[in-house]
Structure 1
Amino acid sequence: MQVGCRRACGFCATGTMGLQANLRWTEILAQVEVARALAEVLSLPPLRNVVFMGMGEPLDNARHVAQALAVLTHPKGLGVAPRHVTVSTVAPSLAALELLVAWPCHIAWSLHSADDAVRAALVPTTAHRVSELANAVLDLASRRNQRIFVEMTLIDGVNDRPRDADLAARLFEAAPRRVRFNLLAVNPTEKGFRPPPDEKLLAFRDRLRAHGHFAMVRRPRGRDRSAACGQLVTLPGARWRVLET
């Protein structure tokens, strides 16, 4: 979606680049076409799911992301069913969330912490209290008649305590069926954060479930190649230039 990111989330290496450029919708879709071609050449399973996640904030490039979604999901475009597409956002503002109402995809909210002070440290550009954003997310789920994925990147000793699970669960206690929690262990970067041990991840999941929520731990992909969530960054010494913005 973008080259770099201006959100500068505390655990994410991408933010250290700042925002360098927005991708055009054609450039976004080109990544899907390349992935399809690679899967065929390498005899991998065909591409089924597309996730707008990794480098950049979709709502900071909303016009081109919306156009990419329209072509991606159109039968005469790339023909990917909307149920196989997910857009992940930190919810930069209440107004920005309004743009998601009609997008043909699933929506994932990067919560990370239900404690306002902790989330402000992890997502320093946040403009609203967590409770305000959670209410807006629930309203969005209702208007779209669709569950929202709530993502939490868990960091050892930062946001992985039982209290953190309780706070997250209480945000949505009025409508637990409207959300699904996806839990991810933080991926190693030069920022030095450590992932929680497996037993803490599972305990966090089980505590959310005890509150009546659907919760699951997601398996990391690409970590061994520094290509997982939070690890995407221009390598030191790399030379590149933006041809067009």
Structure 2
Amino acid sequence: MEFLPGTAGIVLLLASQWSHAAPAVPGACFDAAAASLPVQAGEALARIDGQGRQLLAVRSYLRAADLAGQWSWSQERIEAYEGSAAQRAAHADVARVQAAFAAANPGYALHVNLQVRSLDEQVRKWNGNASVGAAADALLRAATRACRPGREALFERWLRSWRPPAAVNLAAPGLSSHGQALAYDFQVVQGDALVAGTDSRSVQSRWIADGWAARLAAAVRESGASLSGPLRSPDEPWHYRYEPSSP
């Protein structure tokens, strides 16, 4: 991921778009917060709907330990992965988990989306996710108070430290581990019926109370697959990280 001069132009374009929003945070604060972002992040921001969701993504980009290293694969990289030995190894591990689960839970199976989650898909999900929307609204209200004339340089530090009132159930576009084929979401099905899916509202009622979280964890252990998890923050009993073996 490169830090290119074009980033400034993207930030200015976003600022001009933000100026028409109501309520809105002054563009100078956005410039201060987003000025150091690489061009790829700026391009992703330009595709996010609404100033609140954009701000929430900027916060994630600023807080990322390794933004370049975590950034989702390009379409060309995704296509190169298709049919590769790395993909075959990952899918074989997932298949081992599915087999172990089916053997331990007759009549039930695990459905897994094996596709790498493209940046386009991540943006679409971010723009429509309810938990993102709720956090974005809260952030926007707080940010309009935090941005002060003449103190724009402090806004980036404030944005980094701001905490959402409730968990956000998606990584910001570009930062999903699904975008590098490093995570898989398992769903429990019985025939054509979905028993336990990836809706955060079903964590307690389906995954915990009905025991599917424990059964999935047991299948992962029994299979010996190179998977770790589940994800704890946010609480996603269905989400496991793939840890490929070193060559």
TM-score over 0.5 for the pair: no
TM-score, reference length from structure 1: 0.25
Q: Normalized per residue, which structure has more helix?
A: 2
TM-score, reference length from structure 2: 0.25
